[in-house]
Structure 1
Amino acid sequence: MFGIGMPEMFLILAIALIVIGPKKLPDLAKSLGRAFGEFKKATAELKETMELDTDFTDVKNAFEDLDDHIKAETDTSVGYEAVDENDSDHSEEKKTAPEADEDDIEDF
């Protein structure tokens, strides 16, 4: 852990004991322990969030690929001209439909 061995840890504890004092050292150790715990928890949450973001990016890319594939398979721009021409021909036929005869109505 950070290249600190037992002799270095004892030296740091001895200096902390002298500078801080024996009464406040346990409270300081508790506070540092809690701070490191909170830091570890926040780091884990951040890591989990980043992994979820990566998962959502993968899903989004998969849907975009699927959407591109569907658009390529169902190219709707082909044949519009032919449909428009046929519609104009049929529209005249619809407007000039023959009137129903009275004889046809009486048969019903």
Structure 2
Amino acid sequence: MTAIIVKSPFLLFQELGMTELLLIALVVLLLFGGRKIPELMRGLGKGIREFNDAKNNVRQEIEEGMKENPAPEKKA
């Protein structure tokens, strides 16, 4: 039998140094070009903003629902 070792995906990012990050940035620049990167970042920021708005709306609806219908008191 062989043992399967599962590593956390976050361990990969702990081992990245400055050289590796510069290499990744260079590859992204070569693949997308200087003109596409601002568009990609703008789209990423817009997506994160929409996600946070939706998350806040859900939280607000849950809090309002809890205020409208308080939990019944348990009798001792």
Q: TM-score range by the shorter chain?
A: 0.5 to 0.7
Q: Say if 2:51 is the partner of 1:39.
A: yes
Number of matched pairs: 60
Q: Say if 2:30 is the partner of 1:15.
A: no
Deviation at 1:53, TM superposition (A): 1.4
Cα separation, 2, equivalents of 1:54 and 1:12: 47
Deviation at 1:38, TM superposition (A): 1.0
SS of residue matched to 1:22? helix
Q: 5 Å matches for 1:72-83?
A: none
Which one has a bigger Cα radius of gyration?
Answer: 1
Structure 2, unaligned runs of 5 or more: 1-9
Identity %: 25
> In structure 2, do the counterparts of structure 1 residues 36 and 9 end up closer, same or farther at CA, with 3 Å as the change threshold?
farther
Deviation at 1:56, TM superposition (A): 1.8
Structure (1/2) with the larger helix percentage: 1
Deviations 1:72-99 (A, max 9, x none): xxxxxxxxxxxxxxxxxxxxxxxxxxxx
The two structures have a TM-score, normalised by structure 1, of: 0.42
* Amino acid paired to 1:29: M
Which residue number in structure 2 is paired with residue 52 of structure 1? Answer: 64
The two structures have a TM-score, normalised by structure 2, of: 0.57
Which ranges of 4 or more aligned residues in structure 1 deviate by more than 2 Å?
A: 2-16
CA RMSD of superposed structures (Å): 2.9
Relative contact order higher in (CA < 8 Å, ≥ 6 apart): 2
